[in-house]
Amino acid sequence: MSTDDLILHHYDGSPFSEKVRLMLGFKGLAWRSVKVPVILPKPDVVALTGGYRKTPFVQVGADIYCDTALIARLLEARAPAPSLFPADAPLAPLLAQWADSTLFWTVIPYTMQPAGVSHMFAGMPPEALKAFAADRAPFTAGLQRQTVADASANLRAYAAALDAQLADGRAFLFGAAASVADFSVAHCLWYVQRGGPVAEILAPHTHLRAWGARMQAFGHGRPERMDSAEALAIAAGASSHAPTQVLPGLGFEAGQAVTVTATDYGRDPVAGTLVGLSGDEVVVRRTDPRAGTVHVHFPRAGFQIKQDTQENKT
Ligand SMILES: N[C@@H](CCC(=O)N[C@@H](CS)C(=O)NCC(=O)O)C(=O)O
């Protein structure tokens, strides 16, 4: 075990975790697999992240990388080939962003219609389903959820457009090589497939289904189980962090007390000292009794940075 290992904190049924697992498979990487709870409480998660509770996140020693947009860039830096960002597909990150937001929040209400829920949660006690719904209600409180009718209409249109994009025989959405966009669309359609009978909506789209099989064929790389106590011990025992710096002219100073909060849903602020800021990343340092001093990284896009006035009062 090395402190440089990629540790993915995730759970099996999480679409965004599937996006990262497939990217790890695409790059043929070895990784350590820590399973996190599906609902709160998640004491070992928040010890590492400082309050961010979304799934998944990646740990490398005492550096914690939140959000799959940033995790894609981390994996790219560690294993540049094959690339998730091919030079001839400059719009791939934008399509990925659309899939991770609009397509994702279409497939969730679509798949969670009664027939999909009965299939996915078959054999689960009704209390577990209730607990899941009670956990996710405040998590998504800021979102206007599509009705099943809306989501069905939208998904039909999206699936048809994606299928048409592949109709010229290209292997992936932007050509012969896969890009980050393929992984963002793949995890959404993977979730629909998990809905059993509701996956019928994809049946007419033969190009899209063949593409989905190609995406799944990347597999998950080489995972090896680890428990969360070991992951915490690795963070606590790490002697350094990835190099980072606060670039000038971006509105904040190194050493400032800040909070970083997702702007869409799951808006739990993470408080810490600003140690890294660029056009595409923000990094805070915080100390936890069990995880030690960790650097928590977020993508700049989709997160709000605010001076932490609570901290200033104390
Ligand atoms: N923008 C985030 C979205 C992550 C997300 O919404 N994950 C879902 C699971 S797939 C989640 O956090 N659900 C609540 C939870 O796991 O506690 C990313 O790209 O990582």
Write down the pLDDT at residue 294. 98
Q: How far, in Å, from the CA of 208 to the mean position of ligand 1?
A: 24
Number of the ligand 1 atom closest to the C-alpha atom of 264 = 1
Q: Do 65 and 132 belong to one domain?
A: no
Residues 295 and 65: their CA atoms lie apart, in Å, by 9
Give the CATH number for residue 269: 3.40.30.110
CATH of the domain at 98: 1.20.1050.10
**Percent above pLDDT 70 for the chain:** 98
Q: How much is the pLDDT for 314? A: 44
pLDDT > 90: percent of the chain: 97
Q: List helix spans (H) across the chain.
A: 15-26, 43-49, 68-78, 92-98, 104-111, 114-120, 126-139, 148-166, 180-194, 206-216, 228-237, 309-313
Least confident of 71-80, 118-127, 179-188, 248-257: 118-127
pLDDT tens digits along 267-308: 999 999 999 999 999 999 999 999 999 999 999 999 999 999
Q: What is the pLDDT of residue 310?
A: 80
Instruction: For residue 103, count other CB atoms closer than 10 A to its CB.
Output: 22
Band of residue 180 on the pLDDT scale cut at 50, 70, 90: very high
Measure the CA–CA gap between 160 and 46, rounded to whole angstroms: 40
In whole angstroms, give the CA distance from residue 210 to residue 163: 10
Q: How many CA atoms lie within 13 Å of 50's alpha carbon, on the beta-carbon side?
A: 26
Q: Which residue has the tokens 């904190």?
A: 9
Question: Model-level pTM?
Answer: 0.98
For residue 102, what are the domain limits? 92-216
| Residue to mutate, 9, 10, 16, 97, ligand 1, most ligand atoms under 8 Å from C-beta | 16
Residues with Cβ < 8 Å from 144, sequence gap 6 or more? none
Closest to 55 measured CA to CA, from 150, 187, 165? 187
186 with 103, same domain: the answer is yes
> Is 80 exceeded by the pLDDT of residue 157?
yes
Assess whether 96 and 212 both reside in one domain.
yes
User: pLDDT value at position 1?
Assistant: 53
Counted domains in the chain: 2
